Amino acid sequence: MSLIHPVVLCGGSGTRLWPRSRKKKPKPFLPLLGERTLFQQSLDRTSDPNRFAAPTIVAGSDHCPLIEEQAAQIDGSTLIVEPEAKNTAPAIALAAHALPRDAIMLVCPSDHHIANRDAFEKGVEDAVELAREDYMVAFGIHPVAPETGYGYIRKGPALGAGHAVAQFVEKPDLATAEQFLASGDYVWNGGIFAFRAGAFLDELAHHRPGMADLVSRSWSDAVRNGWRTQPAAEPFSEIRGESVDYAVMENTDRAAMVAADMGWSDIGNWDALMTARQTDESGNFVSGAADLANCRNVMVETDRLRVSVVGLENVIVIVDGDEVLVTSREGAQSVGKLPGATSQ
């Protein structure tokens, strides 16, 4: 059986995890869960040489030094330096050009958390089986709450170890999300995909011929420098950025999905991170120097200063460099709109 080619996307600013996540060192490059960063954990999940080829990493030039610091260059791996951020469809297309046409790509974000590795591997197996039959496969996540921050996928008829896709659905309102959850027919769109490189480029050429052409020309003029490959900035800048969901998945006739129950979280804000962490018997979590007195469900993370918290519940305190954030768990979702987060 041929090896699977991991494609790791390093985009996104992660302002909702400000002030730890900053423009210069965003979410993927922070050790938010365990000692390895989310980016390193993404590589770790696809590091078994018996199943996976060396990874293809796609990132902006700002983050290349972080990537080279955190990922010892793996034999045969490639770092594709996006000339500018144009969302996921062009990024995946660049990676597809870097691979043989019949290579099976496993596209993974670098800023998600997956608690259950076995379930992830089973999902990969199922997805790859469908991808080998030239399906465009999305990973669906069994929903555990009526989340309004995620896209959803409605399951179609059974297909191999997965399903056909009946419909991709944008972020719903709460009432709709509750309906989705109750029906059992919907899963979260986890942002993980599997397909053949050639099949992806063919679908892109069919549904987004302009984008496909610009990516192709940018790739033709790419400059290689060690493991870095720098596609040409000129045609790339003309691309209208679009997600892979919009550009390909919603349009293809061959959309498929596998459903995985793998303890997935997009760690979309401090509250989500707290949920993914192991708290003590009072529901508290502390990282760094902190004293808690009479607290429940309090999370403290501090890089330097001591934090003392008294008599609070459901509060998150983050100290990073010259910034202190104190938020209710509910308020965590609006952290990205704070002056400190938007002005950095």
- Which residues contact its own copies by CB under 8 A? 19, 291, 293-294, 302, 304-312, 315, 317, 319, 322-328, 330-332, 334-335, 337-340
For 239, residues 6+ apart whose C-beta sits below 8 A from its C-beta are 86, 90, 211, 214, 215
Q: How far is the CB of 289 from its own copies (least distance, A)?
A: 9
Q: In whole angstroms, how close is the CB of 339 to its own copies at the nearest point?
A: 5
Nearer to its own copies, 140 or 268 (CB): 268
Of the pair 13, 302, the CB lying nearest its own copies is at 302
Which CB, 61 or 328, lies closer to its own copies?
328
Task: Identify which of 123, 110, 87 has the alpha carbon closest to the alpha carbon of residue 10.
Answer: 110
Q: Least Å distance between CB 274 and its own copies?
A: 14
Nearer residue to its own copies within complex by CB, 2 or 334: 334
Distance of alpha carbon 256 from alpha carbon 330, whole angstroms: 35
CB of 23 to its own copies, least distance (A): 16
The distance of closest approach from Cβ of residue 150 to its own copies in the complex, given in angstroms and rounded to an integer, is 22
Nearest approach in angstroms of CB 326 to its own copies is: 5
Tokens matching residue 101: 């046409």
Taking the least distance from each CB to its own copies, the nearer of 45 and 329 is 329
- DSSP-assigned beta bridge partners for residue 287: 301
The answer to whether 100 touches 248, Cβ cutoff 8 Å, is no
**Residue (157 or 339) nearer to its own copies, CB:** 339
Least Å distance, CB 277 to its own copies, is 19
Nearest to 197 by CA among 108, 92, 125: 92
β 162-169/152-159 pair status:
antiparallel
- Residue 141 neighbours by CB under 8 Å, 6+ apart: 187, 188, 189, 190, 259, 260, 261, 262, 264
Q: What does the DSSP assignment read for 19-44?
A: TTSBTTB-GGGS--SSSS-HHHHHHH
Nearer to its own copies, 237 or 328 (CB): 328
Neighbours of 6 (CB within 10 A): 24
Residue 318 CB, shortest distance to its own copies, in Å, is: 9
Output 98 or 317, the one with its CB closest to its own copies: 317
User: Both ends of the chain: CA-CA distance in Å?
Assistant: 48
Cβ(287)–Cβ(279) below 8 Å: no
208, 184, 253: which is closest to 92 by C-alpha? 208
Q: How far is the CB of 319 from its own copies (least distance, A)?
A: 6
269 and 333 Cβ atoms separated by less than 8 Å: yes
- Nearer Cβ to its own copies (262/317): 317
Tokens of residue 300, six digits: 């403290």
